[in-house]
C-alpha cells in the first residue's frame, strides 16, 4: 500500500501545540477529523491510550508512532504531526518527541497494519529524512517529502 493512498495533506499538522502525551494524541486524532474522517475522538483516544499502557510508542530519537485498531474504520489512515518544542511522550530514550506518525487501522487488518508500521519505521531510520521533517516549513513540502521518502524507501 502506497503512502499517498492512506495519508492526505489534510492529515498533517506541522505546528503541534501539545505539551503532554494525551494532548498530542488528541491533536493527532483531531487532524484526521478536520481532514474529513468520521471518527469518535474519545473512543479513538481511548484505544491509543490503551496501546500506550502496553509500552510507549515513543521509539526514541524524537520519534513516536502511536497506533491502534478502530472498528469504525474501513481502511488504514496515517496522520503526521510535528512539534518544534517537543512533547514529553514517555519515550524509550526519555527525550521529547518532535515527529509523530499516527497509524489507525481497521480491526481486521493485521497484515496491512504491521506492514504499514514497518514501512514508517524504515522511513524514519534515515537521519537526513528526520532532519528534513524538522526543518521543512511548508505543509505542502512536508507532504511531498513524506510521499517521496515512502517511494524511495525499500521495504
How high is the mean pLDDT in each 10-residue block of the chain (155 residues)?
A: 86 96 97 94 96 94 95 93 95 95 91 89 92 94 93 72
Please count the structural domains in the chain. Answer: 1
End-to-end CA distance of the chain: 11
The reply to whether 91 falls in a domain is: yes
Strand-pairing partners, residue 60, are 63
The two counts, helices (H) then strands (E), for the chain are 6, 6
Full residue range of the structural domain in which residue 131 is found: 3-150
Distances (CA, A) of 56 to 16, 72, 88: 19, 24, 11
The reply to whether 46 falls in a domain is: yes
The reply to whether 34 falls in a domain is: yes
For residue 3, what pLDDT is reported?
83
Residues labelled as active-site residues: 67
The reply to whether 15 falls in a domain is: yes
The reply to whether 124 falls in a domain is: yes
Q: Give the DSSP letter string of 19-52.
A: -BHHHHHHHHHHHHHHTT----HHHHHHHHHHHH
For residue 155, what pLDDT is reported?
58
The reply to whether 31 falls in a domain is: yes
The reply to whether 155 falls in a domain is: no
Specify the CATH number for the domain of residue 76: 3.40.930.10
Strand-pairing partners, residue 101, are 80
Please state at what angle helix 139-152 crosses helix 110-124, rounded to 10 degrees.
Answer: 110
- DSSP tag of 153: -
For residue 1, what pLDDT is reported?
61
For residue 109, what pLDDT is reported?
83
**Max CA distance (Å), the chain:** 37
For residue 154, what pLDDT is reported?
61
The reply to whether 107 falls in a domain is: yes
Put simply, whether the predicted model's pTM sits higher than 0.85 gets the answer: yes
Amino acid at each position: 500500500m502506497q503512502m499517498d493512498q492512506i495519508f492526505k495533506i489534510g492529515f498533517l499538522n506541522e505546528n503541534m501545540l501539545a505539551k503532554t502525551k494525551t494532548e498530542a494524541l488528541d491533536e493527532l486524532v483531531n487532524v484526521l477529523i478536520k481532514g474529513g474522517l468520521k471518527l469518535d475522538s474519545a473512543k479513538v483516544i481511548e484505544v491509543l491510550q490503551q496501546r500506550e499502557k502496553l509500552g510507549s510508542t515513543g521509539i526514541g530519537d524524537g520519534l513516536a508512532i502511536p497506533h491502534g485498531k478502530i472498528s469504525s474504520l474501513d481502511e488504514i489512515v496515517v496522520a503526521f504531526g510535528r512539534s518544534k518544542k517537543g512533547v514529553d511522550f514517555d519515550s524509550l530514550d526519555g527525550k521529547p518527541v518532535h515527529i509523530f506518525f499516527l497509524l489507525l487501522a481497521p480491526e481486521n487488518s493485521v497484515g496491512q497494519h504491521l506492514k504499514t508500521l514497518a514501512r514508517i519505521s524504515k522511513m524514519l531510520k534515515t537521519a537526513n529524512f528526520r532532519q528534513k521533517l524538522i526543518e521543512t516549513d511548508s505543509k505542502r513540502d512536508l507532504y511531498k517529502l513524506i510521499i517521496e521518502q515512502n517511494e524511495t524507501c525499500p521495504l
